[in-house]
Amino acid sequence: MSRHRPPCLVLAAAASLAACSPADPPPAAGPPPVQAAAPRVVADPAYVAGIERWREDRERRLREPDGWLSFTGSGQVAPGVHRVGHAADNAIVVPGGPEHWGVLRLEPGGALSFEAAPGAALAVDGKPLRATRLLTQLEEGGPTSIHAGDQRFYVVRTGDVHGWRYRDPQAPALQAFAGVPHFPVDPSWRIEARWQTFDTPRTLDLVTSNGTIEQARVPGQAAFERDGRHHVLLPVQEKDGEDLFFIIADRTSGKQTYGGGRFLYAPPARDGRVVLDFNQAVNPPCALNGHVVCPTAPPENRLDVAVAAGEKTYPKHP
């Protein structure tokens, strides 16, 4: 799982869905032991500079013509035959390109194909399109992108639901992007958590922003104390050796930060420890653009503490 491309994706209100439980829960009864709040840590200039460089790189990626802000259209695709194009008489009306792109077919079994309209001047892989089978992002080599100049149309799948997506390198949201607000760098939110590997990876059901459920592999759990409370987080990891991917929410969610939660990546655990740097907690793609589907924060990863670190709510632009 790449740090730059989270799994098929984003967040609305989280549903109460849990397929596994932490193996190291807090005490079942009685209040937690009172501990002093985390002491104020004097910021190391080199650490602060490193976080600022990381933020600059993150915003550079968001400014890319093919980044999350380039989406300008989306919708669901039901089984059947659908005319696609910019004109209002199409079943699927896209925000640009020719008046009539062609015909999209989705078979009951999930097979997809597209036949271009005469004179539409569409292309796939740089070659003129007449008719082709379409792949989703879940198939090797997919998704198949149909280009009309610099703009492109393709189909994705989350669970059993198919949806179309439209990207434009001149998208208004991309042109209006002026950076993402964030909390000041706080080195006390760089936490070395204890890591426990599960004997057998568990499966966690994640509810996506369009209501589908995606199963995720959970290899273990990270535990730490903060402000007198014990916290446990479950990460997703598609394959051993990849970064750990945490989908988290906390007491800033819906106030200072995006209501559905934020994403946090961490290097694989070493020597029973995993570094959770909440200064690198970011908005999920769906917080930046409503045309993206993301997984929601599972109940296990809703922290009973205000994580005043990382990115704040992004002010969307039309």
pLDDT in tens, 271-287: 999 999 999 999 999 99
Kindly report which listed range (19-28, 30-39, 112-121, 162-171) carries the lowest average pLDDT score: 19-28
d(CA 122, CA 134): 14
d(CA 129, CA 115): 8
Per-residue confidence at 61, pLDDT binned at 50, 70, 90?
A: very high
pLDDT at residue 318 is higher than 50: no
Exposure string of 92-131, with b = 16+ CB inside 10 Å and e = fewer, is bebebbbebbbbbbbeeeeebebebbeebebbbeeeebee
Residue 285's region, left for phi above 0, alpha for psi from -120 to 50, else beta, is alpha
d(CA 10, CA 258): 11
Token pair in block for residue 101 = 């792109």
- The one-letter code for the residue type at 167 is R
Domains and CATH numbers, the chain: 1-63+179-318 (no CATH), 68-176 (2.60.200.20)
- The one-letter code for the residue type at 160 is D
Q: What is the pLDDT of residue 5?
A: 43
Q: What is the mean pLDDT of residues 205-215?
A: 85
Per-residue confidence at 213, pLDDT binned at 50, 70, 90?
A: confident
Backbone angles phi, psi at 64, to 5 degrees: -65, 145
Residues 6+ apart with CB under 8 A from 262: 247, 248, 249, 253, 281, 282, 283, 284, 310, 311
d(CA 42, CA 220): 32
Q: What is the mean pLDDT of residues 5-19?
A: 33
- The one-letter code for the residue type at 133 is R
- The one-letter code for the residue type at 5 is R
